[in-house]
Amino acid sequence: MKTKILVTGASGQLGKTIRELSSLHKEELRFIFTTKDELDITEKQKVQDYFSKNKFDYCINCAAYTNVDEAEHDSKSAFKVNAEGVKQLAIACKDTNTILIHISTDYVFDGTKNKPYTEEDETNPINEYGKSKLLGEYYIQKILHEYFIIRTSWLYSIYGKNFVKTIVNKINRDVELQITTSQKGTPTSCRDLSLFIIHLLKTRHQDFGLYNFTAQGEASWYDFAVQISKSFPHYDSSNISAVKEIITKANRPIYSVLNNFKSQKLFSKKTDWQSSTKEVVKKLNISL
């Protein structure tokens, strides 16, 4: 019998990437993809009814409020989705014996450690987005025993709005750029993260809990932009200026690199962030 998986938030870049890869695993895995219009995770009764009716083995929660700056003055919306919506999913998963795979963030940390964060490190989010995501994690851990919380960082893909697509568009218009060097993290391809999630599904892994998953290595946003520009021989990378700081509404952790030792033991097929960036930029160039 095929493993039956619900993917919430399927219109986002991670949901779309999982959908793209799902066709390669049709014999073993049956995916059901739902957008916010089809299943709003903040609507308690609808969530409970949907789970009761369909009986899933897993739920991959890609639904999230992700606008970090907007969350500073609209924290209510961020908490509604990232905390209360996640709570409703966790309750539905518990009631129907569904394993929850939830995507969280490096922004649960304050960035003061200066070396990669492990799953055991103390959390201390410094913006409303991070606080809302951390509360979602708390609800899952309080309600469920069988779950995977996957903390990741700086996601990008060929879908949706993300840093890579923004920089590619500006490079194609030969725009001069000013990019900050004040934050360090790990750019992570949605494809790499999706492959890890699919690995968990196919192996029916039972060592539940909290995992960090990113690409290998670390970079500033400036490093990331320069790496993107390397795929464009016509573009003069000196057009990208390094600036110490750019003022944003939300505070961001200065250093939020994640230690991947735990997930590396489960899934060794990790690529460095430079290689994954090059692959996605290549796909974007083909599609333009």
- Residue 153 belongs to some domain of the structure: yes
Per-residue pLDDT reduced to its tens digit, 118-167: 999 999 999 999 999 999 999 999 999 999 999 999 999 999 999 999 99
Per-residue pLDDT reduced to its tens digit, 14-57: 999 999 999 999 899 999 999 999 999 999 999 999 999 999 99
- Measured CA to CA, the distance from residue 86 to residue 251 in angstroms comes to 24
Question: What is the structure's pLDDT at 218?
Answer: 98
The 3-state secondary structure of 167-211 reads HHHHHHCCCCEEEECCCEECCEEHHHHHHHHHHHHHHCCCCCEEE
- Residue that the structure tokens 């049709």 belong to: 26
CATH of the domain at 82: 3.40.50.720
Helices (H), 86-127: 86-96
- Residue 101 belongs to some domain of the structure: yes
- Residue 103 belongs to some domain of the structure: yes
- Residue 251 belongs to some domain of the structure: no
Give the global pTM.
0.96
Q: How many domains does the chain have?
A: 1
Count CB-CB contacts under 10 A for residue 191: 20
E strand or H helix that includes residue 99: strand 99-105
- Residue 266 belongs to some domain of the structure: yes
- Residue 240 belongs to some domain of the structure: no
Over the chain, what is the mean pLDDT? Answer: 96
Q: Which sequence positions are flagged as catalytic?
A: 129
Indicate whether 73 pLDDT > 60: yes
- Residue that the structure tokens 């908490």 belong to: 79
Q: Phi then psi for 154, rounded to 5 degrees?
A: 50, 50
Instruction: Using alpha carbons, select from 266, 204, 205 the residue that is nearest to residue 1.
Output: 204
Q: Sorting pLDDT into bands at 50, 70 and 90, what band is 286?
A: confident
User: Does residue 148 contact residue 140 with C-beta atoms inside 8 Å?
Assistant: no
- Residue 232 belongs to some domain of the structure: no
Task: Tell me the residue range of the domain where 27 lies.
Answer: 3-161+189-216+257-270
Question: What is the structure's pLDDT at 288?
Answer: 56
E strand or H helix that includes residue 163: helix 163-172
- Residue 171 belongs to some domain of the structure: no
Q: Are strands 219-220 and 184-185 parallel, antiparallel or unpaired?
A: antiparallel
User: Does residue 21 contact residue 190 with C-beta atoms inside 8 Å?
Assistant: no
Q: Phi then psi for 11, rounded to 5 degrees?
A: -90, -5
